[in-house]
Amino acid sequence: MIVEIEGVPLHLAHPDELTVNWVGQEEVMRQLLAAWLVIDAQDLPMNPRLLGKPGVGKTTLAYAAAKRLGREVYIMQATVDTRPEDLLVTPVIEGDSRLRYVASPLVTAMLRGGIVILDEGNRMSEKSWASLAPLLDNRRYVESIVAGIKIKAHPLFRLVATMNDDASTFDLPEYIHSRLQPQILIDFPERHEEIAILRENLPFGDDHILSYVTDFLQNAHAADERYTARDGINIARFAMKLASEEARGVSSEILRLAVTQTLGDEALRYVPRN
């Protein structure tokens, strides 16, 4: 699809289509949807940030919330190399030395009234964040220096940034920090939620394996270890594959091997005793 802005044709990105569901922790879902609400003609949606350890489901939550609203979802992966033009409009040279302007997923969401997930946003530098400053306040627009145009956000446009709480990230500049509010913390799930997450992702999984892995994760959470449901899914999948390859049932040896091969020997301290 092509949209013309101030005489400049922009080639739009395609929305992301994922088969994910949000299981449990409805309170954080409620908080995210509330942040996006507009409750008066003079009100504006907020730009929440989801904070938590890698693998706790921040992107899944954001995607599921957007789908509950029945909206197109665009995922923009941030990295330390993300440049302002990557966030906005990128020029591409095509035949006869002509320039083709390609809108980023973020700009596409702005134009189509979709929802953009700025994934792992605190891996970006301040220079990249600065290009989004007018979008994140009441101005609700961005300016592409490359294309020489100003792009205004559709009234239905919404943004959410996910951020890992690990050390391999930049500190947000204060003027961006104040624009990305509220902060919604995604914590480890309770046991009944965690086993539901495993069953959602591994509907073919053996109950014994899923219960074992859930107990392992709960033990790790109690010690504030950074293992998440994503790790548990990988342990369970590998254990099932090992059992299938050996054409025998899942033994404690196979389960322990799956843990060590996925997370290392140090993870054995959290395996269930029985």
- What confidence tens digit (pLDDT) does each residue in 115-156 have? 999 999 989 989 999 999 999 999 999 999 988 999 999 999
**Count of CB atoms situated within 10 Å of the CB of 73:** 22
What CATH number is attached to the domain comprising 255? 1.10.8
Do 178 and 217 fall into the same domain?
A: no
Residue 226 or residue 156, greater confidence: 156
* Domains held by the chain: number: 2
d(CA 19, CA 211): 24
Q: Read off the pTM.
A: 0.87
In this prediction, residue 169 carries a pLDDT of 62
Do 147 and 257 fall into the same domain?
A: no
Do 167 and 60 fall into the same domain?
A: yes
Do 126 and 153 fall into the same domain?
A: yes
Residue 94 has pLDDT above 80, yes or no: no
Buried b / exposed e over 206-217, threshold 16 CB at 10 Å, is eeebbebbbbbb
Range 149-164 average pLDDT: 96
Domain span holding position 171: 2-185
What CATH number is attached to the domain comprising 112? 3.40.50.300
**Would you place residue 21 in the very low, low, confident or very high pLDDT band (cuts 50, 70, 90)?**
confident
Do 21 and 88 fall into the same domain?
A: yes
Residue 246 has pLDDT above 90, yes or no: no
**Would you place residue 87 in the very low, low, confident or very high pLDDT band (cuts 50, 70, 90)?**
very high
Range 197-216 average pLDDT: 92
Asked which of 137, 161, 185 is the last residue of a domain, the reply is: 185
Asked which of 185, 201, 235 is the last residue of a domain, the reply is: 185
Mean pLDDT of the chain: 91
Asked which of 140, 160, 185 is the last residue of a domain, the reply is: 185
Do 135 and 201 fall into the same domain?
A: no
For residue 125, give the nearest of 84, 88, 91, 166 by alpha carbon: 84
Range 199-204 average pLDDT: 92
Do 104 and 178 fall into the same domain?
A: yes
The percent of residues in the chain predicted with pLDDT above 70, rounded, is 97
In this prediction, residue 239 carries a pLDDT of 92
Q: What is the pLDDT of residues 30-48, one digit of tens each?
A: 999 999 999 999 999 999 9
Q: What is the pLDDT of residues 99-109, one digit of tens each?
A: 889 999 999 99
For residue 108, give the nearest of 80, 137, 87 by alpha carbon: 87
d(CA 88, CA 268): 46
In this prediction, residue 56 carries a pLDDT of 86
d(CA 11, CA 43): 31
In this prediction, residue 46 carries a pLDDT of 97
Range 218-246 average pLDDT: 91
Do 181 and 195 fall into the same domain?
A: no
In this prediction, residue 22 carries a pLDDT of 87
Residue 214 has pLDDT above 90, yes or no: yes
Instruction: Report how far apart, in Å, the C-alpha atoms of 215 and of each of 19, 147, 229, 235, 256 are.
Output: 26, 54, 11, 12, 13
